[in-house]
């Protein structure tokens, strides 16, 4: 989801994020031949999920397998760029501060997300572009990266090949569609590339334990259905299928996402429909995620929606992507944001 002024369309993050790469061939070759300043910033000691300095460089070289083959990282990276929409967060959690990022939600300052602020330590990365506008590749080249992450992205093979002329590139986890890999797989892939696989596994186990504690405290959720939904225009609705990060988060709390939603979504991450399809949202718990609070009353006033049991019985929960950024935490659904999301969503969904 991208907040205003870029309306949320409900589709997977746009593939045009990387289309500008087609014009890069000469620039890429030139950049690959140039020198690079390797004095990038490393995260110091913090608390929580990113709480450590990167390990010594003895783990390198490392080889990591991903969607487009195997990438070798010969030494500990100093200047990391992330072009996946949430890739910076597992990198931060493992003790590294990227020098370049893509901005999904247009948050300023970029490092101000409550679950990641401490890990950034007051530093600000260069924003290479917005989700809808695409990466500004002249900025990327100027940063002289020595490692590029494109895990939560729609990077195409031709673009991967061209970026690889600048620096080693870690693409999407193998065996998953773009934007569909679980947070665990993305965290582990980042850990391997950074020589921090042991730490990555520990962080994954810690988050799994948190989810298990929530499920144990709320055993009734195991028999309940849930849908995460959005409405970006009057009379138009989206329901997120089970592979979407928001639905995946709710499933790890113990709920079940109806297969009907996933079938209707098909190759997309959402099922889209008008008021006539709102009956699909008549589930045990319905979580609305919207850009601001303005759509809330509009949704509640929909004549079809008012007749749903989930609405009549008050089993619907309305959240914003920002202010507070609970929806963004669910959208990122990373090893960093999940802690915040659990703390915020659990008491709200119990009401």
What torsion, rounded to 10 degrees, do the Cα atoms 321, 325, 330, 336 define?
150
Asked if residues 208 and 253 have their Cβ atoms less than 8 Å apart, the reply is no
Helix extents (H) in the chain:
25-33, 88-93, 117-120, 137-142, 157-163, 183-193, 197-217, 245-252, 259-265, 294-301, 303-306, 309-312, 326-332, 337-350
Range of the domain at 239: 218-320
Residue 343 within any structural domain of the chain: no
Residue 203 within any structural domain of the chain: no
pLDDT tens digit sequence for 167-226: 999 999 999 888 889 999 999 999 999 999 999 999 999 999 999 999 999 999 998 999
Whether residues 185 and 44 share a domain: the answer is yes
Whether residues 245 and 157 share a domain: the answer is no
Distance CA 139, CA 16 (A): 17
Residue 59 within any structural domain of the chain: yes
Domain boundary among 196, 227, 261: 196
pLDDT at 20: 41
pLDDT at 53: 67
Residue 57 within any structural domain of the chain: yes
Residue 7 within any structural domain of the chain: no
Please report where in the chains the tokens 């990438």 appear, as a residue.
71
pLDDT at 328: 97
pLDDT at 227: 98
Q: In what order do the strands lie in the sheet with 316-320?
A: 270-273, 236-240, 226-233, 285-290, 316-320
**Cis before 324? omega within 30:** yes
Residue 272 within any structural domain of the chain: yes
Whether residues 248 and 291 share a domain: the answer is yes
Asked if residues 327 and 289 have their Cβ atoms less than 8 Å apart, the reply is yes
Query: Which residues in the chain land under pLDDT 70?
Result: 1-53, 55-57, 132
Residue 278 within any structural domain of the chain: yes
Asked if residues 131 and 101 have their Cβ atoms less than 8 Å apart, the reply is no
Of 255, 267, 260, give the one whose Cα is nearest residue 239: 260
Whether residues 191 and 232 share a domain: the answer is no
pLDDT at 56: 62
pLDDT at 120: 98
Residue 269 within any structural domain of the chain: yes
Whether residues 181 and 236 share a domain: the answer is no
- CATH code at 299? 3.40.50.1980
pLDDT tens digit sequence for 90-118: 999 999 999 999 999 999 999 999 999 99
Whether residues 187 and 235 share a domain: the answer is no
Whether residues 46 and 179 share a domain: the answer is yes
Structural domains of the chain, count: 2
Whether residues 192 and 242 share a domain: the answer is no
């Amino acid at each position: 989801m991208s907040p205003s002024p870029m309306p949320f369309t409900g589709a997977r993050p746009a593939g045009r994020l990387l289309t500008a790469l087609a014009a890069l061939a000469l620039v890429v070759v030139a950049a690959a031949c140039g020198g690079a300043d390797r004095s990038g910033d490393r995260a110091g000691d913090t608390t929580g999920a990113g709480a450590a300095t990167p390990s010594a460089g003895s783990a390198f070289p490392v080889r990591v397998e991903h969607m487009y083959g195997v990438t070798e990282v010969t030494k500990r990276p100093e200047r990391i760029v992330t072009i996946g929409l949430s890739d910076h967060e597992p990198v931060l959690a493992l003790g590294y501060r990227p020098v370049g990022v893509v901005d999904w939600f247009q948050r300023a300052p970029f490092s101000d997300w409550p679950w990641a602020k401490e890990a950034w330590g007051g530093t600000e990365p260069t924003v290479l572009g917005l989700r809808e506008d695409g990466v500004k590749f002249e900025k990327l080249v100027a940063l002289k990266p020595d490692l590029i992450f494109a895990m939560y992205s729609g990077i195409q093979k031709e673009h991967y090949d061209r970026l690889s002329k600048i620096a080693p590139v870690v693409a999407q986890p193998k065996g998953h569609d773009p934007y569909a890999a679980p947070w665990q797989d993305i965290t582990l892939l980042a850990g391997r590339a950074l020589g921090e696989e042991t730490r990555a596994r520990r962080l994954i186990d810690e988050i799994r334990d948190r989810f298990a504690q929530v499920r144990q405290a709320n055993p009734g959720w195991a028999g309940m259905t849930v849908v995460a939904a959005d409405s970006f225009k009057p009379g138009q609705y989206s329901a997120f299928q089970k592979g979407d990060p928001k639905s995946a988060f709710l499933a790890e709390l113990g709920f079940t996402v109806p297969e009907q939603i996933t079938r209707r979504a098909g190759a997309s991450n959402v099922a889209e429909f008008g008021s006539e399809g709102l009956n699909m949202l008549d589930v045990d718990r319905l979580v609305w995620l919207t850009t601001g609070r303005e759509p809330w009353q509009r949704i509640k006033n929909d004549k079809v929606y008012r007749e749903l049991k989930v609405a009549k019985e008050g089993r619907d929960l309305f959240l914003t992507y920002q202010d507070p950024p609970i929806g963004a935490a669910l959208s990122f659904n990373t090893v960093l944001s999940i802690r915040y999301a659990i703390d915020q969503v659990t008491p709200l969904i119990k009401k």
